[in-house]
Amino acid sequence: MTADTRVPLTPQAPESLSRRARYFVEVHGLRVPRRDLALWRGTWLERGIPAAEIDRAVAFQGRWGGIALPPAPEYEGGPRVLEADVPEGSAVDGWRFSAGCCRASMAHGFMIGPGGEFGIDADRWTPLHASTEGWVEALALADHAGYWAKTITKIKGGAVEELDLDGFEQVPEVQGLADTWWRGKDSLIAVYRGEASGFDAPHCLRAYIYGGLDAWGLGGT
């Protein structure tokens, strides 16, 4: 595929992101040359891929394609570079397309779902966030909380189910599905259920507790 080299090295973050996430993308991110998926429209149409699904992949590529962000705490860091590819699926099961290649060899890939969800293609399709914006917001929040927290505690497996979230509020901007963030009076908790759900493997549950946060540490917006 032909690469579009006429893009700046500094990515421009979508206005729909929070100020914290826009800062994260524009300061810590990098934009590399991205492929022009529109060149493949004719070939994909001939393969029976619906035009609407091609449009979704092309739109994702225009918005996110070529953006490289710092690694996530889980999923071996997430996609190396956000990058769409040929849609796959059916009208019955729904259409998905790649969100970018893994940083390391993984038992799952990263996909964009029928409704724009960002998730993993494990033993079964598992949406992590309701949108790519949600995934990026979670990356930005992990970076922010990790910098300002006085303590960071990681827990695994069954201990995650024992977390007491009474008094915590779910962080809305991450648009959590399998993965969620919770804000308390002086701490943030990130819960990662994606691999546990996608592989039916409860031992893969993970959570991070970021403690000792002040008002700025809790939000950063």
> 107-135, pLDDT tens digit by residue?
999 999 999 999 999 999 999 999 999 99
Mean pLDDT of 155-160: 97
Q: What is the pLDDT of residues 48-86, one digit of tens each?
A: 999 999 999 999 999 999 999 999 999 999 999 999 999
pTM value is: 0.94
SS3 content of the chain, % helix, strand, coil (to 5): 35, 25, 40
Residue 4 predicted with pLDDT over 70? no
Instruction: Return the closest-CA partner of residue 181 out of 143, 212, 215, 126.
Output: 143
Residue 9 pLDDT: 76
For the chain, the domains span 3-136, 146-219
As given in the structure block, the two tokens for residue 43 are: 């070939």
Show Cβ contacts of residue 83 under 8 Å, excluding neighbours closer than 6 positions: 34, 35, 61, 65, 66, 98, 99, 100, 101
Residue 6 pLDDT: 56
Mean pLDDT of 154-178: 97
Q: Indicate the length of the chain as a whole number.
A: 221
